[in-house]
Amino acid sequence: MIPQCLGTLRYLFVLDLQMNNLNGIMPRNFSKENQFETIKLNGNQLEGPLPHSLAQCRNIKVLDLGDNIIEDVFPNWLEVLPELQVLSLRSNKLYGTITCSSIRHPFLKLRIFDVSNNNFNGPLPTSCIKNFQGMMNVNDSQLGLQYMGWRDNIIGKYYSNSVVVIMKGFDIELTKILTTFTTIDLSNNMFEGEIPIFIGQLSSLKGLNLSNNGITGKIPQSLSYLRNLEWLDLSRNQLRGEIPMALTNLNFLSVLNLSQNHLEGVIPNGQQFDTFGNDSYEGNAMLCGLPLSKSCKKDEDQPSHSTSEDEEESGFGWKAVAIGYACGAISGLLLGHNVFFFGKPEWLVGLVEHMFNMRLKRRNSRAGANRRI
């Protein structure tokens, strides 16, 4: 059993008990004077609801409670924590809708938001996402690479925060978390509705995973504004319409999964889209074009269309050839019949002699006698 007294340790900065066999309910009595900056209880067997006293951890930056059996609604009361940067509640038994209250800036500094593999339903949490200021215009280039952590200035030791995320389709443990790393993972729930247009405002976002939900509507063109995006997973939803051509402007996109939807039309090409294989699009019966083996109907019709235009322009189409061939054949038969039965016609002999400046020899004596007469 996890000790309930852990929440009363006033001068503890890091509580890291991840990947153990702890069970029971979480500590219920986090004091107002606590100094916690990191609480990591992920990978245990903790159960029951989340303690509201966590809202008193005003200095906390990393809260990782993933991979437990916690059963509760979404803790929107955590939105008041001014320093929270990492919130991972993945792989629990959380349920209900996700909403944020009416405070001005909920989750002000949040950069990693992972609620995947739960039982959340209803619309996507737009009231929260649109206020993720920590995912907009993050720029630490002037300070160099920095990691989320805690340093004890007295003994000179440094603690590096870590977190497990689904990155580019794989479960990866980030042993150090860059302060510029931003990701949203809402996968494997029962969310519905359309992808909000304003999600394109999260310009520093590196990963977006909305897979395996009931999301409908079209892929918003505003996703093309996520110029730092490295992976995008919208698979196993109910998305319709065409893939926006503007997504080819995502120069850092290395993993794309749009499979198992109802998308249609031509797959965009150019830049990063030329590197994606069939598995990025499978399960969309109405999609066509490379890299799929199904060519688009417009492409199939294009050669015959251009050939017909050329014929019309030149006036030498197959109809004209057929008509000319038929007329020539009939004329040849009539002329051959006349020559065979009546000899060389006078008008034909005169025409040939005039054209070639020569006289034809008369081999038919009867024809010659008729000519003398």
Contact 71, 47 (CB under 8 A): yes
- Residue 67 region by backbone torsions, left for phi larger than 0, else alpha for psi between -120 and 50, else beta: left
Instruction: Give CA–CA dist 349/370, Å, rounded.
Output: 15
Q: What is the tens place of the pLDDT at every residue in 22-53?
A: 999 999 999 888 999 999 999 999 999 999 99
Residue 296 above 50 pLDDT? yes
Q: Which residue has the higher pLDDT, 53 or 297?
A: 53
Q: Tell me how far apart the alpha carbons of residues 243 and 267 are, in angstroms, rounded to a whole number.
A: 7
| Tens-place pLDDT, residues 81-115 | 999 999 999 999 999 999 987 677 788 899 999 99
Cβ proximity of 42 and 65 under 8 Å: yes
d(CA 260, CA 3): 45
| Distance between CA atoms of residues 215 and 165, nearest Å | 22
What is the per-residue pLDDT for 354? Answer: 54
pLDDT confidence of 306, banded at 50, 70, 90? very low
What's the pLDDT band for 142 if we cut at 50, 70, 90?
very low
Instruction: Tell me if 205 sits within 8 A of 230, measured CB to CB.
Output: no
* pLDDT of 44: 96
Name the pLDDT band for 350 (thresholds 50, 70, 90). Answer: low
Buried/exposed 62-94: b ≥16 CB within 10 Å, e otherwise: bbbbbbbebebebbbebbbbeebbbbbbbbbeb
In order of their start, the domains of the chain are 4-238 (3.80.10.10), 317-372 (no CATH)
Q: Does the pTM exceed 0.85? A: no
**CA-CA distance, 366 to 373, in Å (whole number)?**
11
d(CA 90, CA 43): 10
Q: Which of 20 and 290 is assigned the larger pLDDT? A: 20
If DSSP codes are grouped into helix, strand and coil, which group holds residue 360?
coil
pLDDT tens, 144-168?
A: 567 776 555 455 456 777 787 877 7
Rg over alpha carbons for the chain, rounded to the nearest Å, is 39
Mean pLDDT of all residues in 233-237:
96
Contacts of 19 (CB under 8 A, 6+ apart): 42, 43, 44
Q: Are 367 and 341 in contact (CB under 8 A)?
A: no
